[in-house]
Structure 1
Amino acid sequence: MKRLLSSMMVVVAVAALGAGLVPAAAADKLTVRLDFSPWGVQAAMHLAQNKGWFKEAGLDVDIQDGRGSGNTIQLVNAGQVDVGQVQVGLVVSARAKGATIRSIANFQRRTDLCILVDQDAPINGPADLRGKTVVVFAASPWAPFIDVYLKSAGMTRDDLKLDVVDPAALWGTYLARRADGLMSTVGSALPIAEKSRPSKCLLASDANIAFPSYGLVAREDTIAGKGPALRRLIEVEQRAWQDLRVNPEDGVKAMIAERPDAQLDPVVLLGQIKLTLDYFDTPASKGKPIGWQAAEDWDAALKSMEAAGVVRPGTKASDYYTNALIE
């Protein structure tokens, strides 16, 4: 009789599971704060959400639009969100001010800081900006490197007009031709300018400025407490970026579907996604998993930040990043 009852209980349990009456394990919840309103660098995050890949990985991801990388870093450090997708080079200045965050993945590892100028302008380096007007916003990642960049051509801020504006006025100033140049990043800027003011880029890297670009950051206690969930988040992001390398149009469709009210331009998005991918690899990270971070790249970034006065000499690259969550 006991064997019969036991067998019946097994059958009932299996039937209940098949009918969906037994609850599955709850998904791990993560909040991810992006850098700005939707643009191409966010394609992998939206693609993974749209395809249900986070759900497949046992994750419940709340993706929030941001108001700048600096603001996102503040929210991550305050524990208001779990993960920030930002320019990870900003971790250095944040930790110098007492933050306890680290870069946990750096997808766009090549320095993409640039100054936009007219495509046909006779401006090909910092020396050609003498007497010109360049627009930037105060919290731009460019801010600490302006003097270093100008110094590479034997110039100071007195040699040009630096127009510091609110972020909302940045593009309006440039597109209205009230400035000769705009300090931004390659991937975000060139596709936007293409329609109204076709432009080219003066790269910060040409002045030996190194700055790790977009990736994911988290607080140290979040890394310790939610490590398995963060590892799966990164694995899904790797999958999404790998898909985008072959099918960048997938990212355009996903972003428009996930942010239907944002009035996104598919041509601009596609250009931004492609340029983002162009800046994924450095010589030190080539052939490594997407998101993996090279000590050599961080050492170069710290050297640039020491020259810019962001950090004191002697800091260790290992204080700012970890590869512990990357396969």
Structure 2
Amino acid sequence: MLTNRKRKNAVGALLLIVVLILVTAGCGGGNSNSSESSSPTSSASVASPSASSSSSSSPSDGTPTGIDWAARKEANKAAGKIRYTTGYYFAASSPDVQAVMADELGYFKELGLDVDIQPGLDSQGMKFLAAGQAQFSSAGNPSLVITSVESGAEIKGVATFGSVGVNALMVMEDSDIHSPKDLVGKTLGYKGAIPSYVISMLNSEGVTRDQIKAVSVGYDPRILDGKVDALTVYKTNEPFIMQKAGYKVRLIDPGEFGGETSFGVVAVNSKFASEFPTAVEDFLRALSKAHEYALQHPEETLKAMQSRSEAGYDLEAETNRWAVESKLVQDHLPEGHGVAWQTDVQWQREVDMLVKAEVIKAALPLDRVMDNSFINSIYDGTTLIWPK
């Protein structure tokens, strides 16, 4: 027989167990995101001063009710000096334009971030990230991040400005090439290595690599006039050069033939992201706000980019670059989401293309190469959450 005291203790213990079970169950649900990947680093952001505001607790004007901005700012200051390396010096391309303008407009400082912007090339930037010598870097496309991870780099893509590709095949306007099958027996010029999107385009119409003549060429697109039949290009660059030189050209979009890519990736050092999740969120927050400003003030934006360049700066060409690229970004914003939002689909198609092109040996899990949790946290629908 239990004494009254022992009976009371037993009942109390039982009630405590029930309470613990209910609390545990309550903490485990209600914050899932079925459509977006979330790597192990994303769990750290929940415990940060971000109090990561859910869209249900944020009014429509973008002012969050659950974020202690003073605490976030202190957490961000603890990250110390943050180095960001650009993708192609100070060319007017995403996310470099956004990073420069966020710095110029004081958005980084407003969020407690001390950011140092270093010009360079994205291939170098991936190495700096991997070595911990930079915390953020621009990557021209997801493929660069994916191949770097396969090589052992502990980095991830955390935002992507362009949800469609900036690459294309360029032919003369009167060319009889209109699709990949028309390349059979023709000469294709490429730079460095044949891009994986070209392999995907050829595969889409049953064309094999040995059915075309692919040659490595230089950077003068006028080679298209009589020396090659088609040329791999950027929509933002070579067409403008040819137009200025008086040539009429036409673009074949890889996205129409199974070769869709993305551009304007923000990559982060994985260790830094796990240690300072609010700094990652707020770095992206500053870039997203700066993007809106750059759209509304293109001339001021281009002058800011020019002022940072230590070499000659072709303002006319860079103005064209930003005009074309920003239109690609804005015309293809993911429905219901803000700029730089990235999806599993974007990254998976890039992984698949790299495997088919035999650039990487096997498909990498998405949570090894990208993390959507940071970009997810800074928006209420299409509205950027910003301190008022």
Shorter-chain TM-score bucket reads 0.7 to 0.9
| Identity value in percent | 22
Post-superposition Cα deviations, 1:74-104, rounded to whole Å, max 9, x if no partner, equal: 2211222211101233222222222211101
Alignment of 1:1-327 (within 5 A): 28-41=80-93, 42-67=96-121, 69-86=122-139, 87-138=141-192, 143-165=195-217, 169-171=218-220, 174=223, 178-196=227-245, 197-259=247-309, 261-266=311-316, 268-280=317-329, 285-311=334-360, 315-326=364-375, 327=378
Deviating more after overlay: 98-107 vs 243-252: 243-252
> How far apart are the structure 2 equivalents of 1:29 and 1:180?
49
Code of the residue aligned with 2:276 in structure 1: it is K
Could you say if the C-alpha distance between residues 199 and 74 of structure 1 is closer, same or farther in structure 2, counting changes exceeding 3 Å? farther
Asked if 2 retains the 8 angstrom alpha-carbon contact of 1:40 and 1:188, the reply is no
Residues 93 and 260 (structure 1), Cα distance of their counterparts in 2 relative to 1, 3 Å cut:
closer
Q: CA RMSD in A?
A: 2.8
Asked if the contact 1:28/1:58 (under 8 Å) is kept, the reply is no
Write out per-residue CA displacement over residues 227-276 of structure 1, whole angstroms, 9 at most, x where no aligned residue: 3222222111101111233333332222122226332223x222211222
For residues 118-151 of structure 1, the C-alpha deviation after alignment (integer angstroms, 9 at most, x for no partner) is: 2343332222333433222225xx5334333223
**One-letter amino acid of the counterpart of residue 329, structure 2:** F
**Cα distance, 1:283 vs structure 2:** 7.1
What is the SS of the residue equivalent to 1:66? Answer: coil
Q: Does the aligned pair in 1 maintain the 2:188–2:215 contact within 8 Å?
A: yes
Distance 2:78 2:99 in 1: 21
Give SS of 1:187's match: coil
Could you tell me which amino acid in structure 1 is paired with residue 90 of structure 2? P
1:288 Cα deviation after fit? 0.9
| Change in CA separation of 1:283 and 1:303 when aligned onto 2, cut-off 3 Å | farther
DSSP 3-state at the match of 2:157: strand
Letter in 2 for 1:295: D
Could you list the per-position Cα deviations for residues 99-122 of structure 1 after superposition, in whole angstroms to 9, with x for gaps in the alignment?
211101111121222112223433
Aligned equivalents of 2:120 and 2:172: distance in 1? Answer: 29
Contact 1:305 1:311 in 2 (8 A): yes
Distance 1:174 1:155 in 2: 24
Which residue does 2:381 correspond to in 1? none
Give, as a single letter, the amino acid of the residue that structure 2 aligns with 1:40.
Answer: A
Change (3 A) 1:72 1:178: farther
SS in 1 for 2:219: helix
1:37 maps to amino acid: Y
The CA distance in 2 between the partners of 1:132 and 1:63, in whole Å, is 43
SS of 2:288 mapped into structure 1: helix
SS in 1 for 2:216: strand
> In structure 2, how many angstroms separate the alpha carbons of the residues matched to 1:113 and 1:172?
14
Conserved 8 A contact 1:50-1:257: no
Distance 1:315 1:88 in 2: 12
DSSP-derived class of the 2:236 partner = helix
Q: d(CA) in 1 for partners of 2:348 and 2:267?
A: 18
1:284 Cα shift? 8.5
Q: Which runs of 5+ in 2 are unaligned?
A: 1-76, 379-388
Q: Flag the 1:92–1:194 CA change in 2: closer, same or farther, 3 A.
A: same
Kindly provide the amino acid, as one letter, of the partner of residue 89 in structure 1: S
